[in-house]
Amino acid sequence: MESVRGQRRLYFSRFFVLRGENDGKEEEGYIGLEGYKMMRTKIMIGALLVLLTMMFSSSVNGAVNVSLDAKKATMNSQMIETALQKAKSSKSASEKIVTLPKGVFLLAKTVVVPAGVTLRGANVNAMPILRIQQNEGIPVIKMGSDTKLENVVLDGQSTVGHVNQKHNGVEIVGASANQRVRNVQIVNSQVRNFGGNGIYMKYTDRVSISGTTTSQMVVSKIGYAGIIGYSANNTKIQRVTVRDIGVADQKLAYNIALSEYFNSKLTSQMQAKVNPRSMARLLRVAIF
């Protein structure tokens, strides 16, 4: 519909207004351009509020339009970090779980799972894929005490042509032998394409890495070690597949290695105290 008076034109758009919950009638009318702009602005503000609600909820349940663009990677990292911090501060056990939807999440920085929080995908058939954007000097995930990672794929995007010890999938690192990271679970997840280590542990106690079956917990295409721990006490590795480890021109590579830090300047008694050996249990582990 168009109205012309002199040089001024007003364009109208059809709209419908629902009159009320009681009568449920529709009324047809027209709204001018300025009114249309105001309506569009309100819709945009409403959409923004929905997005912010998603970002600050304990579960990241909304779809995220992941892109190779740096701004999107930053947005993904901020959204996940916000959800994890909210989960950490919650007093309800059910709200200490952050669930990511299926899809590829490009990230600008390491995801730090704070103490007491679970980060997971919905199930083994809807696993989110986490990738760091163009940075092989940091891990994808760092885990604190009493944390859990479940139904998640960590993809380092490396061709694994050389060893890079800083390029790890998961890092679980305590401050010292007396300040260990404790009670960590990694369940039904995949860690692949890293130049360093799939899962790296140092000064830990009671870390469990397991799958419902050996095909559901897989560490593969890793430059140095699939699973490695230094002074990693009471480690349990159960129903896990480790395969395609090492680089052709490198002499050393480990599927699973749990060891100690050795300092030749220390007496054996002091060495045992400062850098105690790892203690672990391996059950039904498939190595290729």
Length of the chain: 288
Domains held by the chain: number: 2
Give domain status of residue 127, yes or no: yes
DSSP for 81-147? HHHHHHHHH-S-GGGSEEEEPSEEEEESS-EEE-TT-EEEESSTTS-EEEEESS--SS-SEEE-TTE
Q: What is the pLDDT of residue 160?
A: 85
203/159 same-domain check: yes
pLDDT by 10s per residue, the chain, length 288:
443 344 433 333 333 333 333 343 333 333 344 444 454 554 454 554 445 444 434 444 333 344 556 678 898 999 999 999 999 999 888 889 999 988 888 999 999 999 999 999 999 999 999 999 888 899 999 999 999 999 999 999 998 888 999 999 999 999 988 899 999 999 999 999 999 999 999 999 999 999 999 999 999 999 999 999 988 888 999 999 999 999 988 778 999 998 766 566 777 777 666 666 665 566 556 655
Q: What is the pLDDT of residue 2?
A: 40
Give domain status of residue 273, yes or no: yes
Give domain status of residue 83, yes or no: yes
Q: What is the pLDDT of residue 131?
A: 94
Give domain status of residue 114, yes or no: yes
17/135 same-domain check: no
Give domain status of residue 62, yes or no: no
88/185 same-domain check: yes
Q: Model pTM? A: 0.73
Of the candidates 183, 178, 63, 194, the one whose C-alpha atom is nearest the C-alpha of residue 117 is 183
Q: What is the pLDDT of residue 255?
A: 94
Give domain status of residue 98, yes or no: yes
Distance of CA 36 to the CA centre of its chain: 41
| Domain span holding position 28 | 1-55
Give domain status of residue 35, yes or no: yes
117 exposure class (CB count in 10 Å sphere: 0-12, 13-18, 19+): buried
176/273 same-domain check: yes
47/127 same-domain check: no
159 exposure class (CB count in 10 Å sphere: 0-12, 13-18, 19+): exposed
- Domain of 114, CATH number, reads 2.160.20.10
142 neighbors 112 (Cβ within 8 angstroms): yes
Q: What is the pLDDT of residue 252?
A: 86
186 neighbors 149 (Cβ within 8 angstroms): yes
6/102 same-domain check: no
94/176 same-domain check: yes
217/78 same-domain check: yes
